[in-house]
Amino acid sequence: MNIYQFEGAIDKAVLKKGYDYYSEGRVTDVCLMDDREYILKVNGSEEYEVAVRLNEEGFVLSSGCDCPYHYGSVCKHEAAAYFELANRLKKMDKLAQAEGGQSEPEQPNLRNILNGLAKEALVELVLEAAGKDEALRQAVLVRYDRGDERQDRERFRKLIRATISKYVGSDGTVSYRKAPKFVQEMEELLNMAAHSADRSLALGHCYSFLVEVLEAHHYVDDPDGDIRDLTTETLERMDEIALDCGECSREERRRMFEELLKGAAADIFWDWDEYGLALLGVCSRFADDQAFWNRLRSHIEDMIGNAELNKQLDERLVESLLQLLLNISERHDPAEVTEQIVKSNLRFPFFRASYIRKLLQERRYDQAVELAMEGEALDREYPRLVHQWKRLRYEAYREMPLRNERIELAGELVLSGEYGYYKEWKQLAGDKFGSLYETLKQSLKEKRSWRLERAFLSLLEEENDLDELMAYVREYPSAVETYAAKLKERFGDEIIQLYETRILQAASESSNRSDYKEVCAKLDGYKKIAGSDRLQALIGKLRAEYGRRAAFMDELSKLK
């Protein structure tokens, strides 16, 4: 949206109210805060503040208002601000271009004004502002008054809470309209936390921030998922900080590790186990120290034991914990220890698949087949997993002298929609292919689903089975556009008639220019099959039937 042409991008009712506010002179103040960032005051039921940032071409990069409106992306106060800002900028442009004209005085730039103030005046200004804004007061203390670590952490927590309180309404929530500005300001706090020179302090600040952001999932109206993204970004920053702690003393690393491990056990992570697992992953950055790794391993094994005792917990949590344990073990343990973790947990698909692939690499094909078939039996109620075990079994069969077993399994895979195995199956079948093809084709027809239908059609195309393809088009006329070129030679008049019927039906269901363009696209394809004369005859029918639809007639006139 451009500030000079914004009207079409805003709801008409909101735009009208915004223009009324603008024309009534309710935009009372305009201040240039920084390069192309404006703060405007708008009087409504009370005074509201609108912030607008533009780029060099006048496009609105960001915009927000502190009013409670949350029914759309732009409120009437913003609309009024746009009218005022566009008018001022247009005047400035005209005056700047006018020969000999004098430019309108520039809006005051806050940075320039502050640079010109004496120290005493700045101190008084900051004290006055901080007295009205607790978040500003805490930000000054965090940035410029370093105490001991305990004080610094408490101040940062207060800063987070003061920032949150600015956006939480009387109902205890952050509204949809305020959410983007809330997230933006929280991101600034995260940057402040992560850039602390003291790595231990940075990690502690980020943990405090993580806990508050997790709570924010419950009270921020955030359909766009910005809070989730902020949570992920926080954990990524923590991981980066932990990786950067290699030069810290062992005692410093021990304190950070213990604090993170204790934090990961906090109750809040039972509601957010995916983030608790990620935090344990941050802990693993300290596992190059054997003592820390032993402590972490013991903690994860205790969590697994507790989760298995609690039958109400999803087994996926246990599998995720085991995957984390395996991931860390692969970095720090001998190979036999890692293999034992895998072999001890074959009931979980991830570990069974990992071990089968290891057996395949080691050419232990009989064992790979045995484990795959066992998986098929265990997971027979889960088709996706059954397919996975069959694919792994087939990989083993490829390396074994089991031609008949390969033929049978390849057929099963194709029949389940895995068309990628078809050519290999055909080659293996040899002289038996003809009868096997008819059996497979009939089975796919009887077990029709969207996945199997794609495999069925691919099969017909591969074998150029025109009779079966035509039967399919008769049953599903919408497919005529896809297969007309292939079927025209054998089924000429019939395929042209089906194509024409399809176009007439599409035309009868059309009601706007977009629909009419789609009909004309079908006509263009029809011409390639039926020729120009038949195309013109069909266009004549459409003109006679829909002559009063000006947009349709306009689109038809563009056809050549």
DSSP 34-81: ETTEEEEEEESSSEEEEEEEE-TT-BEEEEEE-SS--SSSS-HHHHHH
Domain shared by 164 and 245, yes or no: yes
Give percent of the chain with pLDDT exceeding 90.
Answer: 55
Tell me whether residue 171 is in a domain.
Answer: yes
Name which residue leads in pLDDT, 319 or 312: 319
Question: Phi then psi for 109, rounded to 5 degrees?
Answer: -95, 120
Axis-axis angle for helices 513-530, 532-546 (nearest 10): 150
pLDDT value at position 104?
45
Grouping H, G, I as helix, E, B as strand and the rest as coil, residue 221 is coil
Domain shared by 161 and 262, yes or no: yes
For residues 248-260, give the mean pLDDT. Answer: 94
Tell me whether residue 110 is in a domain.
Answer: no
Domain shared by 65 and 168, yes or no: no
Tell me whether residue 56 is in a domain.
Answer: yes
pLDDT value at position 295?
95
Tell me whether residue 278 is in a domain.
Answer: yes
**Last residue of some domain: 256, 286, 316?**
286
Residue-wise DSSP of 299-320: HHHHHHHHHHH-TTS-HHHHHH
Tens of pLDDT along 446-479?
Answer: 776 777 788 888 889 989 999 999 999 999 999 9
Domain shared by 196 and 73, yes or no: no
Instruction: Quote the number of domains for the chain.
Output: 3
Tell me whether residue 476 is in a domain.
Answer: no
Domain shared by 91 and 195, yes or no: no
Contact present, 375 and 385 (Cβ < 8 Å): yes
Q: What is the DSSP letter of 560?
A: -
Contact present, 304 and 348 (Cβ < 8 Å): no
Domain shared by 185 and 263, yes or no: yes
**Last residue of some domain: 286, 318, 344?**
286
Domain shared by 164 and 38, yes or no: no
Domain shared by 53 and 157, yes or no: no
Per the document, the length of the chain is 560
Domain that holds residue 76: 12-98
Domain shared by 92 and 153, yes or no: no
Domain shared by 155 and 280, yes or no: yes
Give the pTM.
0.64
Q: From CA 172, how far away is CA 429, in angstroms rounded?
A: 69
User: What rounded mean pLDDT belongs to the chain?
Assistant: 88
Encoding tokens for residue 30?
Answer: 């305009």
Tell me whether residue 68 is in a domain.
Answer: yes
Name which residue leads in pLDDT, 271 or 311: 271
Tell me whether residue 190 is in a domain.
Answer: yes
Q: From CA 188, how far away is CA 136, in angstroms rounded?
A: 13
pLDDT value at position 103?
47
Domain shared by 77 and 151, yes or no: no
pLDDT value at position 94?
75
Tell me whether residue 59 is in a domain.
Answer: yes
**Last residue of some domain: 228, 251, 286?**
286
- Is the model's pLDDT at 88 over the cut of 50? yes
Domain shared by 66 and 163, yes or no: no
